[in-house]
Structure 1
Amino acid sequence: MEVELDSISNLPREIVEKILARLPIKEAVRTSILSTKWRYKPAMLQNLKFDEQCVSTQNHITFANIVDQVLLLHIGPIHKFELSHRDFLASADIDRWVLHLSRSCVKCLKLVIWKGHRYKLPSSFFSCQDIIHLRLHNCILKPPSTFRGFKSLEHLDIRHVTLAQHAFEDFIVCCPVLKRLILKYCDGFTNLCIDAPNLKLLDIDGSFEDVSLQNTLHLEHVDIRLEFKVRWVVGGSSNLVKFFVHLPNIRDLQISGYVLKFLAVGPLLRKLPQPILFLNDLYMDVNFTDLEEITTALCLVRSSPALRKLEIVVNHIDYHHVVGEVNSWFENLGENSDCQLTELRRIEIVAISDAKAELDLIKLLLLSSPVLECMTLKPFSVDGSLELLKQVVRFRRASVQAEIIFLDP
């Protein structure tokens, strides 16, 4: 047993650190009693994670006491600090820990606050200038006037965070190397304006009156969901054109909720002035009783010559539009549409019904996709699904190898 212990104790420092990093913090701390060689090893951990596993039901040591003890005895830099506990945490305790981290060259900081009022980040937080990866949950972000950004920040994930309009815009601009931005259920600002020249991934979920992208030419992956319908003002310009002019390198796009409704504001187009040359995967929520949404969706499809996978979820929200207007539009479109999808291989349509507009879209896609391999359809309900299947399998197909798969609702 002693031989085994010695062999472990004599492992290279980086190996020991990797072993300790994979243990819950309370177990890692307990290794200090193994031998004199291990006494200070837990105190030198560079990655600290505090969650429910830290507290034992067999003693009365509080979560805050555990964090305090670990930080008090810690030696050297802390590169990664994760705090996530579902019980109430006092703001004064978190303030104390953040102050300690501001002096420790922390590179990855995750503060996930579950209970209580939103935690207001202290001024010491903005001194953490080595941060590369930042996640905040249930916080208030109010940068001081002297704040000039996090110059090394590459990954920003903020959820249920409150910050003012100017604070959000300035914060993004002052993070010049930002590559990934996740923004969900935040409040305090109504216009989403993002200026990030190195951004590659954008994931948005919220309610905004406007979405504006600037200097986002490197964006490749975009997932945007607008949760509530806002009365967007129709002006002389097209939201669709303004949005995609800053996405020349987009490869993966997911738009859901009311995004199509937002993009449809302004003149309706058959194609964008400039094609979306590199878009391979496209996911959309579409309401087939809304002519503006259908027109905008088909404009995106027509403008994407490299499209390989298309997924559509039928949105059954009723906008009180005239269905006859939509059906007439599809009839005028006819089989001689300029929609040629020469790279499209996979199509998936979820919550499909036997509505004429939805069937007309299926017919159009089958006729426009010469290399299509598979079209997967998932009906909205069991009722009428057999009749739907009978109609679809009779549609003409441009691809002789195209397979149609029906899934249970």
Structure 2
Amino acid sequence: MKQREPLELPCKMEMEVDKISNLPGHIVDKILSHMSLRDAVRTSILSSKWRYKWVTLPHLVFDNQGVCILSQDAMVIKNKLVNIVDHVLLLHTGPIQKFKLSHRDLQDVSDIDRWILYLSRLSVKEFILEIWRGHRYKLPSSVYSFRDLIHLEVFNCLLKPPSTFEGFRSLKNLDLQHVTMDQDVFEYLISNCPLLERLTLMNFDDFTHLKIRAPNLRFFDIGGVFEEINFMNTFSLAIISVALYKNVGNDKNLTRGNTSNLIKFFAHLPQIQRLEVQSYFLQYLADGRVPGRLRAPCIELNYLSVCINFNDKEEVLVALCLLRSSPNLLELEMLARPEKQTVKGTDASFWEEDSNNCPLNQLRLVKIACISGVRCEMDFINYLLANSPVLERMTVKPASNDGGWEMLKELLRFRRASVQAEIIYIDP
């Protein structure tokens, strides 16, 4: 028998095509964009063609996930982090669209000024700076020369722009948390960002009166201690979340008898779709004469979340005004804020008299949490069930198990305007 010759491989090893090295450029960019900066730099060992692929990355993120420094010595950590940022910026070629610095091990911020100055000469579109330790970091004047900035986030910073600052004309998203700035600086900043669409403001210092002039603003999220919010030319604003971290019930500056904060707050919000009223802000809205309905109904409002003290009749009146003024409301969430009764509460006759004034013809979902089963809370739940003809589900979660069985029995006895309404009781 003739001996069979050994099979030859179709391609020699040295002739084999390096599929990784010959990937199209846009595929390589896509792969690198889904990696942390640390892993992207590590791809340089794949082949000679990949050695400098990472230097064109448009997004540079220096955080605890993207940059891992294993050391217990603070000075070593600082030096390593500084060296990493310096090395990346030195070798980088091409545009930098996004730069984020948020590293909890960074204790000395003396090098940040230098990096920001370097970035100000480029066309950076997204800049995120989070200082996790130490005092407020004063942003250098060079940060205010980011002409192409679209997205700006700063944490634990002091903002004091130079007199030559003309605003961020391209900015669409502004997120300021744990910041310090003067009243006039805030107003000037907001009014000189004409394209601003999203504004987040949390835990701010040195100003308490907020005047928001932003014709393109669609999203507004605020939490802090303040005395007043005025919207001006915000007719596109659709989503609002407001938390006032201060009990204003005993504030001597209350203006009972004057135009209510409720009317002023909604005067420039014809497009409001989602509203979250947290902490003590409902109490702020109750300052002044509360109308039965808003002058212009919130036609677009489909979601309402309210933190409320059911023992406070003024807060309850504000909540009812919002319900009466929202004919297309689909979803309602109520979070009880139990406090000592400071004004006369509501009784059963109050709800009976109002039952014909507030038909909730579109309301489908209701969530009520942290209630204790007191009369004013149960009356309000009864009121909702009796005036919601298309209600599908009401979820009730008490603050504790005390009296839970009695509460559930009473809930099931309430008359329901909707034959398909389901009551779901959740143990705390």
- Structure 1 209/10 Cα, relative in aligned 2: closer, same or farther at 3 Å? same
Match of 2:254 among 233, 237, 240: 233
Match of 2:154 in 1: 136
Listed one character per residue, the Cα deviations across residues 122-166 of structure 1 (whole Å, up to 9, x for unaligned) are: 111011111111111111111111111111111111110111100
Match of 2:25 among 1, 13, 33: 13
Match of 2:50 in 1: 38
Q: Is the 8 A contact 2:81 2:106 kept in 1?
A: no
* Partner Cα distance (1:314, 1:376) in 2: 14
**1:147 counterpart letter in structure 2:** F
Q: State how 1:3-402 maps to structure 2 within 5 Å.
A: 6-52=18-64, 53-57=66-70, 62-230=80-248, 231=251, 232-234=253-255, 236-318=258-340, 320-322=341-343, 325-328=344-347, 330-334=348-352, 336-402=355-421
**2:190 counterpart letter in structure 1:** I
Q: Is the 8 A contact 1:153 1:177 kept in 2?
A: yes
Structure 1 residue matching 2:204: 3-state secondary structure: coil
Q: CA deviation at 1:10?
A: 1.8
* Partner Cα distance (2:15, 2:422) in 1: 63
* Partner Cα distance (2:70, 2:403) in 1: 56
Q: CA deviation at 1:345?
A: 0.5
Structure 2 residue matching 1:62: 3-state secondary structure: helix
Q: Is the 8 A contact 2:351 2:379 kept in 1?
A: no
* Partner Cα distance (2:403, 2:84) in 1: 60
Listed one character per residue, the Cα deviations across residues 80-138 of structure 1 (whole Å, up to 9, x for unaligned) are: 11111002343321001111111121111110110111111111101111111111111
Q: Is the 8 A contact 1:255 1:284 kept in 2?
A: yes
Q: CA deviation at 1:399?
A: 0.7
Q: Is the 8 A contact 2:69 2:81 kept in 1?
A: no
Structure 2 residue matching 1:185: 3-state secondary structure: strand
Q: Is the 8 A contact 1:55 1:62 kept in 2?
A: no
Q: Is the 8 A contact 2:351 2:380 kept in 1?
A: no
* Partner Cα distance (1:24, 1:338) in 2: 57
Q: Is the 8 A contact 1:114 1:138 kept in 2?
A: yes
Q: CA deviation at 1:178?
A: 0.5
**1:268 counterpart letter in structure 2:** V
* Partner Cα distance (2:262, 2:309) in 1: 17
* Partner Cα distance (2:427, 2:123) in 1: 53
* Partner Cα distance (2:401, 2:116) in 1: 55
Structure exhibiting the larger radius of gyration computed from Cα positions: 2
Q: TM-score, length-normalised on structure 2? A: 0.91
* Partner Cα distance (1:116, 1:193) in 2: 30
* Partner Cα distance (1:20, 1:36) in 2: 16
* Partner Cα distance (1:117, 1:192) in 2: 24
Q: CA deviation at 1:3?
A: 7.8
Q: Size of the alignment, in residue pairs?
A: 405
* Partner Cα distance (1:221, 1:294) in 2: 22
**1:249 counterpart letter in structure 2:** Q
- Structure 1 332/317 Cα, relative in aligned 2: closer, same or farther at 3 Å? closer
**1:347 counterpart letter in structure 2:** V
**1:215 counterpart letter in structure 2:** N
* Partner Cα distance (1:253, 1:400) in 2: 28
Stretches of structure 1 lacking an aligned partner (at least 5 in a row)? none
**1:80 counterpart letter in structure 2:** K
- Structure 1 338/74 Cα, relative in aligned 2: closer, same or farther at 3 Å? same
* Partner Cα distance (1:3, 1:160) in 2: 59
Q: Is the 8 A contact 1:88 1:116 kept in 2?
A: no
Structure 1 residue matching 2:18: 3-state secondary structure: helix
Stretches of structure 2 lacking an aligned partner (at least 5 in a row)? 1-12
Q: TM-score, length-normalised on structure 1? A: 0.95
Listed one character per residue, the Cα deviations across residues 203-260 of structure 1 (whole Å, up to 9, x for unaligned) are: 1010101111111111111100000124243062111111111111111110011111
**2:154 counterpart letter in structure 1:** L
**CA RMSD for the aligned pairs?**
1.8
